[in-house]
């Protein structure tokens, strides 16, 4: 990565996130290139890392945006993503979000239930517009990933089963307020096996053919969702070209644009979280390394027991077993448990890898801790893309109500 973590720490203090924008470009181009045999739209999943500068950087490459709230839709627009490349998904869109999405005239609303389709129909009628929609199909395929990030089984809340989807397409076709334009499925995140993806896209492609012949609906967009895994530890990854080929094979004979919504694949390994060692202590025989970052900054280890590789900068000797923990008042506040790290000293820098996706976007202000700084690195130059939050920022929305 070639990042001078020390210099950045002196310039911006710690903790901080830093993202390599050239890596983001490389990942985007790799996936776009893999689909070059067809019309395709890479619709970056904004939830993975929604910093305006990150989204703008992807927009500059030609990326669209996959959004799950009207806030994300407006973020994407603010970052310069054209409205005709924006998709709005989510199991629980509220009326105002649907209304605003229709007024903003984005590419399509990805509908996740029959009841929601009826709301979109009513709201489109009120606004006198035709709502472009896609339907999220739940193909009931086990993606073989962590249960919290698995979405393609009927036991998960996402999408609708095949029969419901057919009813919804019939309803949409009959309504003059709805334009059924696409179909969507996303079976889970951090996928490292191709077989479940193949199974899912084949199920959905069959449905596309069925809808075409039985209902005379010609869909224009086939959205395969996101989910491509990355290396955190020693995972063996899905080959991008094989992935694209699997999707293209499933679509053989269909004139349809492929949409793909990667988040983690694009930004996950672009970013690291850098924190500073505060103290070491030993409770009984248990060694703790206490750092200035915490679960409120990067919650993946606490929430999913996720592994993130950790290194102490410029030190590699005298390793022993320890837990790396933050200052938050929760036993679940840790970055790693039982890992071997060298003896550290006050102010040593610690680098936590693979933190570009679902790091900052899942951060909170728990314990009245300000969110950390975000830094971009492009062509060897660093720049701040979100300043560190101050105490004043944290109380700004409460202060005027203080009696």
What is the set of active-site residues?
Answer: 329
CB nearer ligand LLP, residue 9 or residue 106? 106
The Cα 308–Cα 285 span in angstroms is 24
> Considering only residues 182, 226, 293, 326, which one is a binding residue for ligand LLP as defined by CB under 6 A?
226
Give Rg (Cα) of the chain: 23
The Cα 94–Cα 90 span in angstroms is 10
**What sign does the CA torsion over 274, 277, 282, 283 have?**
negative
Q: Could you give the string, one character per residue 55-84, with x where binding to ligand LLP holds by CB under 6 A and - elsewhere?
A: -----------x------------------
Token code pair at residue 174: 């009959």
- Is 386 a binder of ligand LLP (CB under 6 A)? no
Q: What is the DSSP string of 27-44?
A: HHHHHHHHTTTS-EEEEE
- Residues within window 150-169 making contact with ligand LLP, judged by CB under 6 A: 151
**What sign does the CA torsion over 364, 368, 369, 370 have?**
positive
> Considering only residues 57, 93, 166, 264, which one is a binding residue for ligand LLP as defined by CB under 6 A?
264
- Residues within window 287-306 making contact with ligand LLP, judged by CB under 6 A: 300
**In which residue are the tokens 């936590």 written?**
352
The Cα 320–Cα 1 span in angstroms is 26
Judge contact between 372 and 378, C-beta under 8 A: no
CB nearer ligand LLP, residue 45 or residue 77? 45
> Considering only residues 97, 112, 261, 374, which one is a binding residue for ligand LLP as defined by CB under 6 A?
261
The Cα 92–Cα 13 span in angstroms is 39
**In which residue are the tokens 């994300």 written?**
72
- Is 113 a binder of ligand LLP (CB under 6 A)? no
- Is 85 a binder of ligand LLP (CB under 6 A)? no
Judge contact between 270 and 20, C-beta under 8 A: yes
CB nearer ligand LLP, residue 164 or residue 343? 164
Segment interacting with ligand LLP, rule: CB under 6 A, options 33-41, 223-231, 313-321, 340-348: 223-231
**In which residue are the tokens 């389709």 written?**
117
- Is 262 a binder of ligand LLP (CB under 6 A)? yes
> Considering only residues 358, 363, 369, 374, which one is a binding residue for ligand LLP as defined by CB under 6 A?
358
Min separation Cβ 101 and ligand LLP, Å: 15
Min separation Cβ 286 and ligand LLP, Å: 27
Q: Nearest CA to 81 among 35, 50, 127, 120? A: 50
- Binding residues for ligand LLP, rule CB under 6 A, total 21
- Is 308 a binder of ligand LLP (CB under 6 A)? no
Min separation Cβ 188 and ligand LLP, Å: 8
Cβ-based neighbour number of residue 331 at 10 Å: 8
- Is 89 a binder of ligand LLP (CB under 6 A)? yes
- Report the interface residues with ligand LLP, using CB under 6 A: 45, 48, 66, 89, 149, 151, 186, 189-190, 225-228, 261-265, 300, 357-358
């Amino acid at each position: 990565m070639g990042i001078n973590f020390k210099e950045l720490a002196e310039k911006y203090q710690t903790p901080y996130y830093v993202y390599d924008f050239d890596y983001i470009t490389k990942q985007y181009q790799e996936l776009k290139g893999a689909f070059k045999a067809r019309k395709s739209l890479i619709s970056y999943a904004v939830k993975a890392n929604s910093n305006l500068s990150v989204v703008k950087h992807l927009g500059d490459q030609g990326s669209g945006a996959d959004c799950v709230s009207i806030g994300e839709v407006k973020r994407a627009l603010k970052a310069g993503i054209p409205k005709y490349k924006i998709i709005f998904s989510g199991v629980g869109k509220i009326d105002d979000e649907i209304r605003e999405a229709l007024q903003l005239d984005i590419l399509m609303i990805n509908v996740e239930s029959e009841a929601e389709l009826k709301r979109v129909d009513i709201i489109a009628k009120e606004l006198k517009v035709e709502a472009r929609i896609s339907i999220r199909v739940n193909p009931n395929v086990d993606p073989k990933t962590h249960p919290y990030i698995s979405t393609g089984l009927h036991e998960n809340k996402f999408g609708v089963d095949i029969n419901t989807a057919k009813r919804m397409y019939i309803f949409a076709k009959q309504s003059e307020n709805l334009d059924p334009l696409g179909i969507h499925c996303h079976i889970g995140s951090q996928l490292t096996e191709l077989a479940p993806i193949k199974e899912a896209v084949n199920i959905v492609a069959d449905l596309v053919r069925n809808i075409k012949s039985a209902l005379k609906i010609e869909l224009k967009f086939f959205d395969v969702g996101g989910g491509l895994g990355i290396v955190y530890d020693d995972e063996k990854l899905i080959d991008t070209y094989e992935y694209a080929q699997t999707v293209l094979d499933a679509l053989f004979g269909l004139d349809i644009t492929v949409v793909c919504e990667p988040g983690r694949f694009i930004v996950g390994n672009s970013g690291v979280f850098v924190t500073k060692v505060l103290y070491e202590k030993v409770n009984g025989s248990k060694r703790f390394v206490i750092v200035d970052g915490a679960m409120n900054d990067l919650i993946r280890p606490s929430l999913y027991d996720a592994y993130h590789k950790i290194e102490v900068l410029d030190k590699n000797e005298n390793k022993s077993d320890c837990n790396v923990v933050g200052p938050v008042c929760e036993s679940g506040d840790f970055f790693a448990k039982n890992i071997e790290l060298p003896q550290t000293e006050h102010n040593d820098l610690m680098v936590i890898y693979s933190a570009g996706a679902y790091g900052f976007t899942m951060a909170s202000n728990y314990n009245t801790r300000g969110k950390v700084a975000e830094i971009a690195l492009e062509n060897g130059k660093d720049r701040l893309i979100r300043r560190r939050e101050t105490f004043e920022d944290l109380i700004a929305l409460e202060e005027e109500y203080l009696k």
